[in-house]
Amino acid sequence: MTTFDKMGLSPELLRGVTDAGFEKPTPVQEKAVPFLIKNRRDLIALAQTGTGKTAAFGLPIIDAVDTGDKTPQALVLCPTRELCLQITTEFKKFAKYKAGLSIVGVYGGAPIDAQLRSLSKGAHIIVATPGRMLDIIRRKRVVLTNINRVVLDEADEMLNMGFKEDLNAILSETPPEKDTLLFSATMPKGVATIAMDYMEDPYEVTVGKKNQASANIRHVYYAVQARDKYLALKRILDSEPNLYGIIFCRTRQDTKDTAESLMKDGYNVEPLHGDLSHAQREAVMKKFRVRSLQVLVATDVAARGLDVEDVTHTVNYSMPEELEIYTHRSGRTGRAGKKGTSIAIISLREEFKIKRIEKMIGQPFERLKIPPASAVFENQLVSMVSRIENTIIDEEKIEPLVNTLYEKLGDMSEKEIVKRLLSMEFEQLFSYYEKAPDLNDPRKDSGGHERRGGRSGGSGRDRFSRFSSQKGGRGQQKGKFNRTGKPRGPKKSKG
């Protein structure tokens, strides 16, 4: 395997990479970095989210900058402000020891005046969202005539978000002889069109097969009656008490409705969608990153650019209209070499979509049964025992309370105390699941009787108030469920 010190990086950049904690290159870095350091050529790189694409294009770009020239020399375009901030932060870490290098991020949802001032001081590398970049260009506050490399990061998602016209307009302001570096997780027709419009004889780097999902991700699905999807979602969440993840919905309204229902039923979730203000979105993301919020309910657009490596599960509560989007969703988990699970909850009529996705990603799905009540109880108990085992005891504060407890409960055996504590903890859970339907047989309820439609289960807030009563405000404990213009012409010669 090639190491970073064998890639031809300058000593200053190599020090920055080491300080950033990079030990060995990922496959996409190993293929792209040495090539881009040695060659001036267009490049297409197909690799999944979380595989180190930022360093793959960032290291060669930073190394090539002439700090004596104060004009912009590289432009990175990406779909969301979160991804823009992430790339800018990583670039600055890499460039820690390259004196005089200026990297400026420009994106919507933040005051433009401060960004304009930063650009006016000189920016060697600009990282931008298309909308804000185009706004700055139209204000004539930036000149891109010396740009020698443009990166289109997550190109497929920029197209899904409707940025094609913005990309056309921005790229028309850049020199035709520049290098265009296109990085994408999938290769739908729209991305192929970009390659035809903006690139000439691109070198192609592919990690895995095109549109293939990460090998670290397990893909499973549950098939239920459409009317039972919400009940199935809750049952899955109850059976995975340590789940830390993202539930994907197709529309903003679906996201709002699903999040609102789960919150009313006592789950530690919040929505993430385009109707939130910048401040609201940042507040939600901050809670999610520190795990005071366990689950996001999000649209595909809102979830782009999330940089959270420890997500354990993604849940497709509604399947995406474009199957390639599934690859982006599942790519939120199984990152940085860790294992993850991608769950699809589908109606009985949607199984054909699973077959199509299997063919696209080159991996099989496992069809699982909705967990029965016994599995829910067992998993919740195992999670509780784990929390008990990992609890740090402050002997000085606890010992007096233990003595008092023994005095009050002295007539009870230890086994009796454990039984009573479990009864308190699981009382509401038992009450709910006593009459919960068997979601794996859409024709019958849990007693074997024919079902007559409608949703069963009632409100989870009352069912789980006791089960959720850990400390943390409103019954929410940190990190666990409460309950349970136009294309440029042919390129000029670079010679």
Sheet holding 366-367, edge to edge: 269-272, 295-298, 245-248, 313-316, 340-347, 217-224, 366-367
Please say if the pLDDT value at position 25 is more than 60: yes
305 compared with 85, residue with greater pLDDT? 85
Confidence of residue 444 (pLDDT cuts 50, 70, 90): very low
CA quadruple 149, 152, 153, 156: dihedral, nearest 10: -160
Q: In the structure, what pLDDT confidence band is assigned to residue 219 with cuts at 50, 70 and 90?
A: very high
The confidence score (pLDDT) of residue 47 equals: 82
Cα 364 versus chain centre, distance? 22
* pLDDT of the residue at 153: 93
**Distance between CA atoms of 142 and 389, rounded to whole angstroms?**
58
pLDDT band at 11; cut points 50, 70, 90? very high
Q: Domains of the chain: which residue ranges?
A: 4-206, 217-373
Domains 4-206 and 217-373 share a fold: yes
Give residue-wise pLDDT tens across range 349-403.
Answer: 999 999 999 988 889 999 999 999 889 999 999 988 888 898 999 888 888 898 8
Which tens digits make up the pLDDT trace of 316-334?
A: 999 988 877 898 899 888 8
Q: Give the pLDDT of residue 431.
A: 80
247 residue type, one letter: I
Going from the C-alpha of 485 to that of each of 149, 173, 235, the distances in angstroms are: 18, 8, 50
**Is the model more confident about 383 or about 212?**
383
Q: Which residue has the tokens 């699903």?
A: 258
Q: Lowest-confidence range among 166-180, 347-361, 369-383, 443-457?
A: 443-457
- Report, as an integer, the average pLDDT of 8-14: 94
Q: How many other β-carbons are positioned within 10 Å of the β-carbon of residue 418?
A: 11
CATH 3.40.50.300 fits 4-206, yes or no: yes
Q: In what order do the strands lie in the sheet with 179-184?
A: 103-106, 125-128, 74-77, 149-153, 179-184, 43-46, 203-206
Query: Nearest Cα to 315, choosing from 189, 402, 401, 220?
Result: 220
Tokens coding 243: 């789940």
Block residue for tokens 């005891």: 393
Encoded amino acid at 485, one letter? G
CATH (one of 3.40.50.300, 3.40.1190.20, 3.10.450.50, 3.40.50.2000) for 217-373: 3.40.50.300
Question: For position 459, what pLDDT does the model report?
Answer: 36
Residues 6+ apart with CB under 8 A from 39: 203
Q: What is the mean pLDDT of the chain?
A: 84
Of 196 and 176, more confident: 176
Q: What is the mean pLDDT of residues 205-228?
A: 83
